Structure 1
């Protein structure tokens, strides 16, 4: 299946599709182009998405998605959850289940849906038991995961060459973001720092974030807002704000949609390889991505107008266990230079 010019799965224009991408936040955002391409080619279709509860809000109101189904983490450990999910999905009578995640847990959901056609990636992109539970396996094509995810649609004869995200916001979310920025004394030009990362080996030292924030304030007259998610991340953000003096503001507690509303108003985003970085890039915010254990060619901020910094390449087999020295090899000077370049380019444009 390396070159599909005609559909191997032939369905009606009014077919019912289920996209399965449960987690993580960044990967859910990077899967949105699949929904957009599917909607473009099947405007009369019904498109649903199965996602973990914690990531579902970012999909709310999306123009390509008719229905959002949610499951809690580790839903598969409860027979009651399995029974309930199966009943809910079978009511929809899906024709095609697109298992973008292509792991056992996502493939199991595709199987539970009862769809006649269950599509996942062939190995090595498809892992664990996923290829065994699918009716069709597609070899991954592309370099970046956005391109790879879109290549799954070749089984439907969709050769998508562009990626759209179409993240939405409500009037209430826009008004909330505007009021927060006014309250924090942030104008139309401000940068956002996101110090959090699930993997310890992805985190950049707090004092270096503070150094960059002081550079932005003192050299470019641009204040910085520091995002945080949980209480641990709040303590990191408070440390950065304290070390940066008056260059930083601490963001309020935000949910996913509030965070997106703030990000879409930012002039610059500085972050490691995390969900908020990919959200910012999807919203068209210029990003400086800090990379160590992961490959920016594959999972960097997608699209033009971004700069990625990777001072040391990881060559091992287990990126989650990569040494913290990879991120520490990135100097504040590298990041300051990238910030200045992006802002200069944006101003020129």
Structure 2
């Protein structure tokens, strides 16, 4: 049995997008990650090397752990200066993003990196049938990324259409800092609504998204966490790149405003300036694209 290390740090969405690759590993991997990554993967992996911060002392401690583990290969799914330094100093066979097309979907980039070794099976791309349980609306984003938030009238419009078509309750997710905003949206939309923003652990959020019939979300960590668990997912984009950050799988779709972006090209970099990015997004477009997994 080979010993495989997988490196992935960064935000929740980046770490979540790695899940299909971790599950495709032929051998139980050691995940080299942050405390957030450990919290997300504690039900998926048994072995972790956790980098608690970016201090020199912590980097040296992690490097020592890499030496001790004697990996057969380290798969660098982070491919930044820090991870490249760690893999170089670990003196272990490694693969990274060299030669990979960086203009494609992030999950595809990660899968292409992993396939440079013989330690991974093909990523599972088979859709699953969903029970008609509830619909998750992940409406918020951090204060820093208010540009990702849709205007209120779009959530009213979307929820009305979803209620008419599926007649399912809504569960609104989000972080503790987003609670007031999520609660505001909850008071506007029709149907049975439950707000769990700020009330779930990461593992509880993971299970909640896994059990949903459908997730409709801004470009966020929960969007990616929903999609990598084969929950049909509609990602709503405007201020960020819907090509690279598209949710994973044929059971997911990325929507954008085809009037605001008449040329069909995403912004070259993420935009924090609030603008009318979302006025012409049509939820029907997403439902049509996902009819193969949302059909009765």
Q: TM-score range by the shorter chain?
A: 0.7 to 0.9
CA distance in 2, matches of 1:27, 1:104: 16
The match for 1:101 is: 78
Pairing partner for 2:140 from 196, 201, 221: 196
Tell whether 2:161 aligns with 1:210. Answer: no
CA distance in 2, matches of 1:343, 1:15: 39
Tell whether 2:263 aligns with 1:276. Answer: no
The match for 2:51 is: 71
Distance 1:31 1:310, change over 3 A: same
Query: How far apart are residue 247 of structure 1 and its match?
Result: 4.0
The answer to which structure has the higher helix fraction is 1
Tell whether 2:18 aligns with 1:31. Answer: yes
Structure 2, unpaired ranges of 5+: none
Counterpart contact for 1:191–1:223, Cα < 8 Å? yes
Question: After alignment, is 337-346 or 278-287 more displaced?
Answer: 337-346
The match for 2:3 is: 16
Number of aligned residue pairs = 284
Counterpart contact for 1:141–1:151, Cα < 8 Å? no
Pairing partner for 2:30 from 33, 40, 48: 48
TM-score (normalizing by structure 2): 0.82
Pairing partner for 2:270 from 319, 339, 345: 319
Tell whether 2:93 aligns with 1:117. Answer: yes
Question: After alignment, is 199-208 or 281-290 more displaced?
Answer: 199-208
CA distance in 1, matches of 2:104, 2:146: 25
Query: How far apart are residue 273 of structure 1 and its match?
Result: 1.6
Counterpart contact for 1:271–1:277, Cα < 8 Å? yes
CA distance in 2, matches of 1:88, 1:344: 47
CA distance in 1, matches of 2:103, 2:21: 14
SS of 2:123's partner is: coil
Which protein has the larger Cα radius of gyration, Structure 1 or Structure 2?
Answer: 1
Task: Give the aligned CA root-mean-square deviation in angstroms.
Answer: 3.0
SS of 1:163's partner is: coil
Query: How far apart are residue 251 of structure 1 and its match?
Result: 1.6
SS of 1:84's partner is: helix
Distance 1:276 1:269, change over 3 A: same
Counterpart contact for 2:243–2:266, Cα < 8 Å? no
Counterpart contact for 2:14–2:221, Cα < 8 Å? yes
Query: How far apart are residue 338 of structure 1 and its match?
Result: 4.2
Query: How far apart are residue 55 of structure 1 and its match?
Result: 2.8
CA distance in 2, matches of 1:117, 1:20: 13
